[in-house]
Chain A
Amino acid sequence: NAGVTQTPKFQVLKTGQSMTLQCAQDMNHNSMYWYRQDPGMGLRLIYYSASEGTTDKGEVPNGYNVSRLNKREFSLRLESAAPSQTSVYFCASSARQGLAGGQFFGPGTRLTVL
């Protein structure tokens, strides 16, 4: 099993450009999450999907949209990138409601917006 995979690993955008970050998990998990990680800020939840067909806002959703394409895939879209969105983005998944056993994280996407 590959676990949680993310593409791309690195990306540089200009202000105003759009892009989609891809995430897939092969663990048959119901719940999936998108986080951003900035220096000194820990992990902040952007959006999550408790199950296929549902999405909900997290702590910092502004400037982002998500799509739960199917049980395996959960994408994050930046419609008009801003320098404040320069960050490392992590996708995660979890098996059970209530997060028992924790979340499994992907390797991250390092995004720079110029």
Chain B
Amino acid sequence: GESVGLHLPTLSVQEGDNSIINCAYSNSASDYFIWYKQESGKGPQFIIDIRSNMDKRQGQRVTVLLNKTVKHLSLQIAATQPGDSAVYFCAETLTGFQKLVFGTGTRLLVSP
């Protein structure tokens, strides 16, 4: 398949490790944030979201942390599996606004 991003930052982990993917967002007024996963040859897929009135939200094997002071988001994946290999994007927006602004993405490579 084609490459989603030839020059993306890459995080390489071993199967079973915990992964942390970071994202710096741009607009201090943004109040809604989403993490997407994009596998090779496919469209982005929603993983988890968080509003600015929270600093942590957990899903199944994933946790998103929000630090509004430094405009930073992170996605933690527990017990990373080969199927988690993909490019991960954060996106930000303002409630009521119809547009998402996407980060450039991080490639996660999981080796068995």
Q: Give how many A residues have a beta carbon under 8 Å from the other chain's beta carbons.
A: 30
Within 8 A of A (CB), among B53-112: 89, 91, 93, 95-100, 102-105
Q: Which residues of B contact A42 (CB under 8 A)?
A: 5, 89, 102-105
| Nearest-neighbor residue (CB-CB) of A58 within chain B | B99
Q: Which of B7, B43, B95 is the one whose CB lies under 8 Å from A90? A: B43
Residue of B89, B95, B98, B100 with highest tally of chain A CB at under 10 A: B98
CB distance from A73 to the nearest CB of B (A): 17
- Kindly supply a per-residue 1/0 record for chain A positions 96-114, scoring 1 wherever the CB is within 8 Å of any chain B CB and 0 otherwise: 0111111111111010000
| CB-CB under 8 A for A97 and B4, given A102-B49, A105-B44 | no
In the complex, identify which listed stretch (A12-20, A43-51, A61-69, A75-83) lies at the interface while the others stay far away. Answer: A43-51
Asked if A85 is at the interface of the complex by the 8 Å CB criterion, the answer is no
Q: Which residues of B contact A101 (CB under 8 A)?
A: 46, 49
